[in-house]
Chains A and B, each alone.
Chain A
Amino acid sequence: MKKNRLASVLPPVIVGIVGLALWEGTVTVFGIREILLPKPSSIWAQLFEKWSVLRHATWETGKISVSGLLVGIFLGVLMALIANRFKVLNDGFTPLAIAINATPIVALAPIFNAWFGITGTFSNQAVVIAVVFFPVFINTAKGLNEVHPNEIELMQSYAASEWTILREVRIPNALPFFANSLRLAAPLSVIAAIVAEYFGGPQDRIGTVITSSAGFAKYDVAWAAIAMASGLGLLLFGSALVTERLSMPWRISGDIKDN
């Protein structure tokens, strides 16, 4: 067991360290200019130097991403449950949702600005909500719908109610689909929050720090800000993975069966 864990942690750590060393080494040896690619060590230094600015900006962007993510998930799941209950809604709304999901939803940002104003953060949150809502809805609805007919027949043979079927069959079946959409939506929420920033809203956030530092040719600061944004994305992605583990203990890898 312990040996297994080491075997799964060690390779990425090695690849990470080798990658960083190569990065640092290449930049130093070939004298690549800071504009093109700053050294990891100078990015690291800027993380400390500009910590208070970076922390504040990440916090502000983080609030928008997380709140939008949570509301988007809630609405997506709620809508999936409703659509599962009413067939007409499912037939009409699901193909439309798939179509909308194929469009660049972030382009809605200026329209939301017009609707909700650009002084507050709600317009930006609305973009995150929209970006998160569609994949969550589509995947969860799929999971609720695509249940093996045998399982439904089994439940019906027990004279189970629709509600019991939902609880015992449909929701467990939808969990892996839902988890997949979470893994997709969590990093997307950060991207959406940053893109929405380009169209307006308070200017003390991470995207602004990146653009303004890049504008002043302070590339190491810009990269430090990107590292912070990545950290935020990683945190949300990690939370999605943890949620997945906790909600589906039966899917933890390392099964016992052999050949």
Chain B
Amino acid sequence: MTKRKAFRTAFTVLVTLVLLVLLWEGYKWMGQQTDDHWPGTQFGLPVSTNDLTMPHSGDIFNELTEEIRAGRETLPLTVYLAKKAAFTFLEAAIGFSLGVIVGLMLAIFMLRWRFAERGFLPWINVSQTVPLIALAPIVVTWARLQGYPDMVGISLIATYLTFFPVAVSGLRGLQSPDSSDIELMHSYAASWSSTLIKLRLPAARPFLFPAFKLAATLSVVGAIVGEISIGTKTGLGRAILDFSMRYAVWPERLYSSVIAASLLGLFVFGLVNAAEWLVIKRGREVLK
């Protein structure tokens, strides 16, 4: 039943992807015929269709196996991008882990003291309106002054983007148990901390996982943008920046690197989904 549904979803998504590729190629073909005008009119197309602006999807795909010079060695673009992605993944993973720890601690802190909730929650909301991305150059200067590698600064930026959804959803999840559940723990004369561990934290899981998913995506965004804004020597963000500068020569490479970034985002998202399945959903089908 669910298997069939999953199969159907995969199928529709695949068809949609194929349609998008066809749309891309169709638009390109049409533009080539009409010299970048809407057919039969004088109106120009919004995006021109030459091979520089819109390379053939096949060419982007082929480029992946092409060799690229990286320092002294040459290696296929796929391997090159995978190496960069691994570095970015590490930064994102550190940022994510720190963000989850900080977010959960804040949530528990606000749960414990009502004044803390009232006093801090508005500021936590405000914190997200501070474009920390803009702080990136400063954060990294700071990290360099302390003698830390750039990775530390970048991970901190990822942490900043990550802690917010965890703190906010975490608090909501910790506050989610029914009053009768709280009364039950109270009737056992359970301490605050055992109520937290036995009741509130497990009950918060359905709230936390969507937050983790958002946080995972944001940690990748933070890592890539951090790399771009501070000019590290490696990482996927660096690759995107490099290729965007040499766009006139190899447009396919920019597309490949952006696709690699998307795949990294999806990979991290998939990891959190898998963790969710392991922790919550496994073996919980309703029988009746």
Spell out A's residues near B (CB within 8 Å).
7-8, 11-12, 14-16, 19, 35-36, 88, 91-93, 95-96, 99-108, 110-111, 113-116, 186-187, 190-191, 194-195, 198-199, 206-207, 210-211, 214-215, 219, 222-223, 225-226, 229-230, 232-234, 236-237
Most chain B beta-carbon neighbours within 10 Å: one of A8, A11, A104, A236: A104
B198 within 8 A of A: no
Distance to closest chain B CB from A251 (angstroms) = 15
From known contacts A110-B254, A113-B244, A236-B129, infer whether A96 and B262 are also in contact, taking CB-CB under 8 Å: no
Tell me which of B94-102, B115-123, B275-283 binds A: B115-123
Which B residues are CB-close (under 8 A) to A206? 134
Tell whether, in the assembled complex, residue A11 and residue B119 are in contact, meaning their CB atoms are under 8 Å apart: yes
Q: Scoring B residues 270 to 288 as 1 if CB is less than 8 Å from chain A, else 0, what string do you get?
A: 0000000000000000000
- The complex places the Cα of A225 from the Cα of B136 at a distance, in Å, of 13
Tell whether, in the assembled complex, residue B129 and residue A107 are in contact, meaning their CB atoms are under 8 Å apart: no
Distance to closest chain B CB from A206 (angstroms) = 7
Tell whether, in the assembled complex, residue B115 and residue A92 are in contact, meaning their CB atoms are under 8 Å apart: no
Apart from A105-B221, A110-B244, A226-B135, what are 16 other A-B pairs with CB-CB below 8 Å? A11-B118, A11-B119, A35-B142, A102-B268, A103-B220, A104-B220, A104-B261, A104-B265, A106-B221, A106-B224, A110-B258, A186-B129, A195-B228, A214-B141, A226-B134, A237-B129
16 contacts between A and B (CB under 8 A): A7-B118, A16-B123, A36-B142, A91-B8, A99-B269, A101-B217, A102-B216, A102-B269, A103-B264, A111-B255, A114-B247, A210-B135, A211-B137, A215-B137, A222-B138, A237-B126
Tell whether, in the assembled complex, residue A111 and residue B135 are in contact, meaning their CB atoms are under 8 Å apart: no
Distance to closest chain B CB from A200 (angstroms) = 9
Tell whether, in the assembled complex, residue B123 and residue A207 are in contact, meaning their CB atoms are under 8 Å apart: no
- The complex places the Cα of A28 from the Cα of B242 at a distance, in Å, of 42
Tell whether, in the assembled complex, residue A191 and residue B265 are in contact, meaning their CB atoms are under 8 Å apart: no
Tell whether, in the assembled complex, residue B225 and residue A102 are in contact, meaning their CB atoms are under 8 Å apart: no
Tell whether, in the assembled complex, residue B119 and residue A15 are in contact, meaning their CB atoms are under 8 Å apart: yes
Q: B115: which of A11, A35, A95 is its contact (CB, 8 Å)?
A: A11
From known contacts A95-B9, A102-B269, A110-B247, infer whether A211 and B229 are also in contact, taking CB-CB under 8 Å: yes
Which B residues are CB-close (under 8 A) to A234? 126, 129
- With both beta carbons as reference points, the residue of chain A lying nearest to B225 in the complex is identified as A195
Q: B134: which of A14, A219, A229 is its contact (CB, 8 Å)?
A: A229
Tell me how many residues of B have a C-beta within 8 Å of chain A: 61
Distance to closest chain B CB from A246 (angstroms) = 19
- The complex places the Cα of A108 from the Cα of B244 at a distance, in Å, of 10
Spell out B's residues near A (CB within 8 Å).
8-9, 12-13, 15-17, 19, 46-47, 52-54, 115, 118-123, 125-126, 128-131, 133-135, 137-138, 141-142, 145, 213, 216-217, 220-221, 224-225, 228-229, 237, 240-241, 243-244, 247, 251, 254-255, 258, 261-266, 268-269
Q: A195: which of B52, B133, B142, B255 is its contact (CB, 8 Å)?
A: B133
Tell whether, in the assembled complex, residue B123 and residue A15 are in contact, meaning their CB atoms are under 8 Å apart: yes
Distance to closest chain B CB from A176 (angstroms) = 13
Which B residues are CB-close (under 8 A) to A232? 129
Tell whether, in the assembled complex, residue A230 and residue B129 are in contact, meaning their CB atoms are under 8 Å apart: yes
Which B residues are CB-close (under 8 A) to A215? 137
From known contacts A110-B254, A225-B134, A234-B126, infer whether A103 and B217 are also in contact, taking CB-CB under 8 Å: yes
Tell whether, in the assembled complex, residue B130 and residue A103 are in contact, meaning their CB atoms are under 8 Å apart: no
- The complex places the Cα of A216 from the Cα of B54 at a distance, in Å, of 38
Which B residues are CB-close (under 8 A) to A198? 225, 228-229
Which A residues are CB-close (under 8 A) to B255? 111
- The complex places the Cα of A223 from the Cα of B122 at a distance, in Å, of 21
Distance to closest chain A CB from B81 (angstroms) = 13
Which A residues are CB-close (under 8 A) to B134? 194, 206-207, 210, 225-226, 229
- With both beta carbons as reference points, the residue of chain B lying nearest to A7 in the complex is identified as B118
Distance to closest chain B CB from A34 (angstroms) = 11
Tell whether, in the assembled complex, residue A12 and residue B266 are in contact, meaning their CB atoms are under 8 Å apart: no
- With both beta carbons as reference points, the residue of chain A lying nearest to B17 in the complex is identified as A96
Q: B265: which of A103, A207, A214, A237 is its contact (CB, 8 Å)?
A: A103
Query: What 5 pairs between A and B have smallest CB-CB spacing?
Result: A233-B129, A110-B244, A11-B119, A103-B265, A102-B269
- The complex places the Cα of A166 from the Cα of B73 at a distance, in Å, of 60
Tell whether, in the assembled complex, residue B240 and residue A110 are in contact, meaning their CB atoms are under 8 Å apart: yes
Which A residues are CB-close (under 8 A) to B142? 35-36
